[in-house]
Amino acid sequence: MVDLAETLNYTETAENLFTTQGNISKQILTLEKELDVTIFVRAHRKIVLTPEGKLVLTYAQKITRDYAKLTIQLSDLKTINDSTIELHTIPTMPNYQSFTLITQFLQKYPKVQLQLQEEESYNLLTSLKAGKCEMIFARTFQFDEPNLERIVMEDDDFVAVLPKNHPYAQSKKLDLAKLKDERFLILGNSTNLYTPVLELCKNAGFKPQIAYEGTRVDLIMRMVQNQMGISLMMGKTAQNYDQQKFSFVPLTSNITNKLCFIRIKGEHSKANNLFWKYVQDNIRSIGG
């Protein structure tokens, strides 16, 4: 119910909770029958909370918070040596210095288990809020989450990824407007980079001709190498590819994003707090 009250969309909530729309509807109907109230009503093809629903939501949110605290306290009954931290991360995390810090942490505390799970960018915050992980490593362009806390590790900027023989391949900096007639090969919406790329192009005064969008950086780089188009990529991701085959040209106008560790504010397991403090104390040592 809490997620549905936020999305006001059965399909979106079903996707967030990895179930079906029918299951969500069934659970809501069961709850309404048990409480003998109507929680949601449909109005103009949308759903809205009833006054009774808003009251139920207040208690449901408290129950959710209390349950999260319960699980944390139960976890704290175990020793740090037996603790596991579940961290969900963007697939490109190894390209960033934060990965080095994780390695150093595990070397210092070898009995702490850190479970890393890759997840597409658009779903990381949802997973964290739903309690599917304790912490995330995510890319943020804007951060307005009063219930979350973060440690900013490093910044990253977009670069133009061009074939070596491209007319602008030797440029020190590039006005994106000069690429308005190019075929763009870009990461799709699920990577959280689709909208910023469109915004960059809009700010440069044109709508890009998108020849391909997907989720695999390596495939896009191969397509650029084969001169099927050009791309806009995060600089620290692009630099891991052979600079003999590509040119990575900084842009005169950019959108900076921040790579962060993020967790929900409040109580956490001892292992979680141990890692959080380690990150805070050692962030400068990795040049973040």
Does 163 share its domain with 116? no
pTM above 0.75, yes or no: no
CATH code at 209? 3.40.190.10
| pLDDT band at residue 286 using 50, 70 and 90 as cut-offs | low
- Residue 128 in 3-state DSSP? helix
Q: Which CATH number does the domain housing residue 13 bear? A: 1.10.10.10
Domain that residue 15 falls in: 2-76
Residue 215: is its pLDDT beyond 90? no
Confidence check: pLDDT of 140 > 90: no
Question: CB of 156 within 8 A of CB of 182?
Answer: no
pLDDT of residue 111: 80
pLDDT tens for 59-84 read 888 888 888 888 777 765 555 545 78
Same domain for 66 and 36 = yes
The amino acid present at 193, given as its one-letter code, is L
Residue 18 pLDDT class (50, 70, 90 cuts): confident
Distance CA(9)–CA(61), nearest Å, equals 18
Render pLDDT for 223-267 as a digit per residue (tens, 0 to 9).
999 999 999 998 888 888 877 888 999 999 998 888 999 999 988
pLDDT tens track for 80-138: 545 788 999 988 888 888 888 999 999 988 888 888 998 887 788 889 998 889 999 99
> Looking at residues 18-44, what average pLDDT do you find?
85
In the chain, how many H helices and how many E strands? Answer: 10, 12
What is the SS3 string spanning 210-222? EEEEECCHHHHHH
Averaged pLDDT of the chain: 87
- Residue 230 has what pLDDT? 95
Q: Clarify whether residues 124 and 162 are in a common domain.
A: no
Is the domain of 149 the same as that of 162? no
CB 257 within 8 A of CB 156: yes
Q: 262 and 150: one domain?
A: yes
46-49 and 148-156: which strand pairing?
A: unpaired
Number of domains in the chain: 3
Question: How many whole angstroms separate alpha carbon 203 and alpha carbon 162?
Answer: 20
Instruction: Tell me how far apart the alpha carbons of residues 182 and 188 are, in angstroms, rounded to a whole number.
Output: 18
pLDDT of 35 reads 87
The pLDDT assigned to 81 comes to 46
Mean pLDDT of 257-279: 90
